[in-house]
Structure 1
Amino acid sequence: MELMSPVDALFLAAESREHPLHVGALQLFEPPAGAGRAFVRETHRAMLECQDIAPLFRKRPSSLHGSLASIGWSTDNDVDLGYHVRRSALPAPGRVRELLELTSRLHANLLDRHRPLWETHVIEGLKDGRFAIYSKMHHALIDGVSGLTLMRQSLSADHDDTDFRAAWSPAPSRSPRSQPRPGRLHRLGGMLASVGGLAPSTLRLARSALLEQQLTLPFGTPRTMLNVAVGGARRCAAQSWELDRVKTVKDAAGVSLNDVVLAMCAGALRAYLDDNDALPDAPLVAMVPVSLRNEHDSVGGNMVGAVLCNLATHLDDPADRLDVIHASMRDNKKVLTQLPRAQAMALSLLLLGPAALNTVPGLTKVTPPPFNVCVSNVPGVREPRYCNGARMVGNYPMSLVLDGQALNITLTSTADSLDFGLVGCRRSVPHLQRVLGHLETSLKELERAVGL
């Protein structure tokens, strides 16, 4: 049995029917010229023929005898690809609306813990000839950056490449040299030592952040209609924007691309809440994940920090909102990036720890939210990518929602576009698709504000 990290174990322990804790992605593909009606079926068959399965895709949770908590990973040596890789067809008329309805249902279903924690669904029947692949994997196994890495490895940059690879295929070795793995007791000792050393360093970091860096801290956020207990059903929405539009605003304002993305989301959330007579006087606060992974880290596991960002939704002027967001992200990321990775993760747990309290029944109503919404920008691909010769024209991340956090906004880049994936509690976030319209309006307002 391979021991889990504390973060990975927490993702499994906190999961329930109302809180599925997997992450996913909906990818749209345009078949190559001349592809016949059997193209999607043949692509699905090619996936099933990828029988060499990487260790990450063989893992399933395991516990000590008599214990209910999962503390380690066991290896499944007989993975049933027919179960994990499925083919579906959309009902007529085969619009994107039907695709998102199917995605919403698939994204709400829990993964089977008696099997490796992943699924891939090949979906045909879109009336414009495109097809989709929806994939999901438990957050205990991957974070957003490692999920995108797996996607990049499975797709080709050459549309004529016929060497088919699946996401679960082992990646080529980066180095012929192999390092001996530490034994189980050594790994356990190292894990306990690192966890034991976090408490005093975390207290020092909190004091430094409060007194010197003015870090945005939890429990300073207003309660909104988004910060309620969630049900088990989900609604997904997705849309792409031209990357050049966002870059032009970035260059004109002298801020980062992620600052503009956050400002887009701030304007959209302000308008959406105002439509529902639910806009608070105090500004919303977003939790923004920050990758702590480096190029030498293996794919898998969770190496993510987080900062809290003031979205300035109390301000009417989009330029003023952008200025506040830029300053908030600059100051808060400065604290995180100056720390060793272990301490950066410790500080992130300090900021996000209050969100875990919401898994305790009833606490959502009596404790203030640590933040209002999660907005995550995961680096994507810069050039076109192909699956069996079909070009990927959209890649929409689908993340998770929790009690007290009924809406999640995650995006990534695909060649020349930014692809937004929104996931909301079906009961608590009505008319989720309207947020997409507000995102477009918010971007137009930013363009005018910077003189474009």
Structure 2
Amino acid sequence: MPFMPPTDSMFLLAETREHPMHVGGLQLFELPEGAGPEWTRETIEQFRSGGVSDLFRRRPKEPVGVLGNAWWTTEGSVDMDYHIRHSAVPQPGRIRELLQLTSRWHGSLLDRHRPLWETHLVEGLQDGRIAVYSKVHHSMVDGVSAIRLMRRSLSEDPDDRDCVPPWALAPRPRSTDVERSGGLDPLSLVRGGAAVAGDVAGLLPVSLKIARDVVRDGDITLPRAPKTILNGPVGGARRFAAQSWEIERIKRVAKSSATTVNDVVLAMVSGALRTYLLEQHALPEDPMTAMVPVSLSLRAGDDTKTGNATGAIVVNLATDRESGPTRLEEIAYSSRKAKKILRDLSPTQILALSALQMLPLAASPVPGFVRYTHPPFNVVVSNVPGPDRQMYFNGARLDGMYPTSIVLDGQAVNITLCSRDQYLDFGIIGCRRSVPHLQRLLLHLETSLGELEQAWG
């Protein structure tokens, strides 16, 4: 009966009906050439009859009560018919119907009397593709680790028929600084920050140095944002939207404007949020900000460690600017200034400082806190590395890999994108009650990119 570290159990203890604490993903696959209806049936049978790793056999020792959620127990027998579900989209079988199903599934809590995961294999799409939606509790696996497991279950060879699903794979041991800090998942930064809380002796002088930089430069974006409709209490229901964009389009804008791909992505998000909030008559006068997990190379000359340092920066989205190119310039400047501060810190200091910036999220369940305080930032935008080439699962071609993350009180929208071969796959999850017509953000993202292409493409 292994002990559950506090950095894991906090996701169980913080979970309520309004705040499901699982992460997930929606994948689209094109069936192998010549495959018929039996392919899906055989895949379901393979999923249900295969092995399950120890990680995916875990559940809280006592699902009811605080102490029982601080210890894991391992199920000897897993009810695979319960965890692996065969589903279908209603007619006419558009992506719209698939996203509606995903929204409903992602808003429901996992059963703590069972291992904390489930997978839906979905057919009935009018274009003949199949979909796989999976979710796993954040106490077991963070978002980045879940994507890593998904990548390991795939093959570059379309003729490979030996692929096994993620729950049958043993997780690899974490070794690099990025992995120890939880990768680029913002909630994992909280997890990693708590894990190193006792090793922050150098944080006070670092904080004083940052304060001096703020006074001297006067243009560093601080973790205090204007209130918007995206930053209030959330309900339990979710709405999910997803779409892919060609990476090459974004790279062309980045090259022409002397910015980065992440800068262009943030400019797309900025333009989309600005237009969306204008439609809702809710755009704040002050510029909105985004919390962005980043991976930074360690300081030159420090050869005592390998890997990358992972941290979080707060970036000015310049939503008060009407011009898309102007927003991109201000976003790139704000991002460079924030990264410059982190480059002067050790990996531990980066992680601790990043966690401190997100501490207000931990206080969001306190009654009245969200209502009467300013949010540290308005939205989380995460870019998670995915496979850099075309991948297959037992001959089925991967056509989409859309992350589904967590929303909290004060952060009613989460935007996570995953790179895949020649695409960036955007997954947008939001509170169904406080963020109406969330799917319109997809249209506005495309319009925003088009404006940037017209100026810089």
The TM-score normalised by the length of structure 2 is: 0.87
Offset at residue 144 of structure 1 (A): 2.6
Deviation at 1:62, TM superposition (A): 4.0
Q: Structure 2: how far apart are the matches of 1:124 and 1:247?
A: 34
Distance in 2 of aligned mates of 1:174 and 1:365:
41
Q: CA RMSD in A?
A: 2.6
Change (3 A) 1:46 1:70: same
Counterpart mapping for 1:42-441 below 5 A? 42-51=42-51, 53-62=52-61, 67-68=66-67, 70-171=69-170, 194-198=196-200, 200-212=201-213, 215-218=220-223, 220-290=224-294, 305-441=311-447
Give unpaired runs (5+ residues) of structure 1: 176-190, 298-302
Contact 2:19 2:407 in 1 (8 A): yes
Distance 1:59 1:331, change over 3 A: farther
What amino acid does structure 2 have at the position aligned with 1:139?
A: H
Cα deviations by residue, 1:136-179 (Å, 9 ceiling, x for unpaired): 1112222232121101101111111011311012359799xxxx
Q: CA deviation at 1:292?
A: 8.2
Distance 1:128 1:359, change over 3 A: same
Distance in 2 between residues matched to 1:402 and 1:256, nearest whole Å: 29
Code of the residue aligned with 1:325 in structure 2: it is: I
- CA contact 1:20–1:108 (8 Å) conserved in 2: yes
8 Å CA contact 1:91–1:98 kept in 2: the answer is yes
| Letter aligned with residue 401 of structure 1 | V
Unmatched tracts of structure 2, length 5 or more: 175-192, 299-304
Distance 1:73 1:48 in 2: 23
Displacement of 1:69 after TM fit? 6.5
The aligned residue for residue 15 of structure 1 is 15
SS of the aligned residue for 2:236 comes to coil
Percent of counterpart pairs with the same letter? 54
**Residue 291 of structure 1, CA deviation:** 5.2
Q: Which residue of 1 aligns with 2:178?
A: none
- Counterpart-to-counterpart distance in 2, 1:208 and 1:357: 26
Tell me what 2:189 maps to. Answer: none
1:285-317, CA deviations, whole angstroms, 9 ceiling, x for partnerless residues?
A: 1111235899xx9xxxxx963221111111122
Alpha-carbon separation, structure 1, partners of 2:95 and 2:76: 37
Give the deviation of 1:102 after TM superposition: 0.6
- Contact 2:118–2:136 (CA under 8 A) maintained in structure 1: yes
**TM-score scaled by structure 1?**
0.88
Instruction: Give secondary structure in 2 for the equivalent of 1:195.
Output: coil
Cα separation, partners in 2 of 1:132 and 1:194, compared to 1, 3 Å: closer
- Asked whether the equivalents of residues 7 and 195 of structure 2 are also in contact (C-alpha less than 8 Å), the reply is no
Assess if the C-alpha contact under 8 Å between 1:406 and 1:425 holds in 2: yes
Quote the Cα distance in structure 1 between the aligned partners of 2:387 and 2:227: 36
| AA partner of residue 144 (structure 1) | G
CA distance in 2, matches of 1:60, 1:250: 45
Q: Tell me the CA shift for residue 352 of structure 1.
A: 0.1
Distance 1:28-1:343 versus aligned 2 partners, 3 A rule: same
How far, CA to CA, are the matches of 1:71 and 1:342 in structure 2? 26
Query: Displaced runs of 4+ in structure 1, greater than 6 A?
Result: 63-66, 172-175
Kept in 1: contact 2:271–2:319 (CA 8 A): yes
Do 1:153 and 1:171's aligned partners in 2 also have CA atoms closer than 8 Å?
A: no
Contact 1:43 1:388 in 2 (8 A): no
Query: Partners of 1:131 and 1:111 in 2: how far apart?
Result: 23
1:29 maps to 2:29 = yes
Please tell me whether the aligned partners of residues 7 and 194 of structure 2 are also in contact (alpha carbons under 8 angstroms). Answer: no
Q: CA 1:336–1:62 in structure 2 vs 1: closer, same or farther (change >3 Å)?
A: farther
Q: Is the 8 A contact 1:145 1:291 kept in 2?
A: no
Q: Which amino acid is 2:252 matched to?
A: T
**In structure 1, distance between residues paired with 2:373 and 2:114:** 36
Residue 71 of structure 1 deviates from its aligned partner by 2.8
Query: Matched residues in 1 for 2:297 and 2:63: separation?
Result: 30
Q: Could you tell me which amino acid in structure 2 is paired with residue 33 of structure 1? A: E
Q: In the comparison of the two structures, how many residue pairs are matched?
A: 426
Given that 1:26 and 1:396 are in contact with CA atoms closer than 8 Å, whether structure 2 keeps it comes out as yes
Give the conservation status (yes or no) of the 8 Å contact 1:108–1:232: yes
Give CA-to-partner distance per residue, 1:166-219, whole Å, 9 cap, x none: 1012359799xxxxxxxxxxxxxxx99953333x4333332222223675332x
283-292 or 36-45, which deviates more: 283-292
**1:250 is matched by which residue type in structure 2?**
A
Confirm or deny: 8 A CA contact 1:398 1:421 kept in the other structure: yes
- CA distance in structure 2 between the aligned counterparts of 1:64 and 1:385, rounded to whole angstroms: 38
1:226–1:406 contact (8 Å) kept in structure 2: yes
CA distance in structure 2 between the partners assigned to 1:21 and 1:192 by the alignment: 17
